[in-house]
Structure 1
Amino acid sequence: MPEQRVTKVRVLDAALSIVREQGEEALSARAIAERAECSVQPIYSLFGDMAALAEELYDHARAWVAAYNLEHMHDGANLFEANGFSHLRLAKTETNLFRFLYLSPHMHPEGFEELFQSVALDGVEDCIQDLGHLSAEAAHELYLSMIVYTHGMAAMIACGAQFTDADLHERMDRSFQAFVAQIREGERS
């Protein structure tokens, strides 16, 4: 039987499945090799070391989450709501992956704008403009504020908080309204 070529994608998929199931702590060259059905040699040939593999795995996992968000883009009353609840759902249903992506040293934006650029979804700012009757600049600021706020709730969920969906909806709605009111007050001043 011809030997299958071990690719980066195959190794990254194996590593991602380990992170999703067991957390980053379970990652080792041996565990990844076993999952990828190869020896450890191709892992080091492809990535050099485990630190480089983890760096590429971070990007691979972000791509997985981007696809996840697209799958759930119609799960809310609008794209903005769906995006927020997708992040909260990820924290609840993919806790190990959420921790790897958002509660680890792998995420290291150098400012809020860089954070925004790394997680914002196309179309959400337009949705916020329409919902709040806001300028593009105000919608951008509100989206960033909601990203920070929603991530705080998601982090609590990933650490074991048991919020109901109704509580999360209420908090998200109240926060959106408060941010809109704050923006309008600022515009009047």
Structure 2
Amino acid sequence: MPEQRVTREAVLDAALAVVREQGEAALSARSVAQRAGCSVQPIYSLFGDMGELVRQLYGHARAWVAAYNREHEHDGCNAFESNGLAHLRLAREERPLFHFLYLSPHMEATGFKEVYESVAVDGVQACIEELGNLSPEAARELYLDMIVYVHGMAAMLATGAQLSDEELRERMDRAFRGFVALVRA
């Protein structure tokens, strides 16, 4: 019988499934191996230890979210609204994954510049420039303000708040209008 080779991608996919379903606390070599259909040996051979698996899983999970965002890029009136709605939806529908990515120390942001670079989505800043008739610098600052604001609502959703989609959209719109007014003042 030929030897079955477990790939790095298969282990990362299995680890992602564990986190999405049960949260990071359920992540262990045994739970990942069970999900991947292998023994724990390939996990240690491929990653060395669980710490390295978790570090690589963070990037893998971020790539999954990027694909998720692309799937929902037309859910709003424009790229900006769609981006915010996708983040809110992720918090509501993928709570354990949201906690792993954004409510844990794995993000390693040391300042707002890193936050922006970590989560900004291509095309959204240009959309904000157009919507608000803003310079690139002002649009970038407004985008960062909205990232912080929307993430606050997302954190509430991820911890169980029952906020309607209509209320979330209204809050995002009010915040955007308020931030634009501040930039223009």
Same fold, judged at TM 0.5 (above): yes
Q: Does 1:176 align with 2:181?
A: no
**Corresponding letter in the other structure for 2:104:** S
Q: Does 1:142 align with 2:142?
A: yes
Distance 2:134 2:90 in 1: 29
Alpha-carbon distance, 1:46 to partner = 0.7
**Corresponding letter in the other structure for 2:108:** H
Q: Does 1:102 align with 2:102?
A: yes
Distance 1:140 1:107 in 2: 20
SS in 2 for 1:106: helix
**Corresponding letter in the other structure for 1:98:** F
> Which residue does the alignment assign to 1:44?
44
> Which residue does the alignment assign to 1:164?
164
User: CA offsets, 1:11-66, max 9 Å, x none?
Assistant: 00000001000101111101111111111011011111111100000000000000
User: CA offsets, 1:132-164, max 9 Å, x none?
Assistant: 000110000000000000000000100000000
Alpha-carbon distance, 1:165 to partner = 0.6
5+ residue gaps, structure 1: none
Distance 1:55 1:17 in 2: 16
Distance 2:75 2:25 in 1: 32
5+ residue gaps, structure 2: none
Alignment of 1:82-121 (within 5 A): 82-121=82-121
SS in 1 for 2:105: coil
> Which residue does the alignment assign to 2:76?
76
> Which residue does the alignment assign to 1:16?
16
Distance 1:141 1:88 in 2: 20
**Corresponding letter in the other structure for 1:89:** R
Alpha-carbon distance, 1:3 to partner = 2.5
Q: Does 1:122 align with 2:95?
A: no
Distance 2:175 2:47 in 1: 43
Distance 1:28 1:108 in 2: 22
Query: Would you identify which runs of 4 or more consecutive aligned residues in structure 1 move more than 6 Å?
Result: none
SS in 1 for 2:106: coil
- TM-score, length-scaled by structure 1: 0.97
Identity %: 69
Alpha-carbon distance, 1:105 to partner = 1.2
Distance 1:4 1:175 in 2: 54
Give the superposed CA RMSD.
0.6
Distance 1:44 1:5 in 2: 14
Count of residue pairs the alignment pairs up: 185
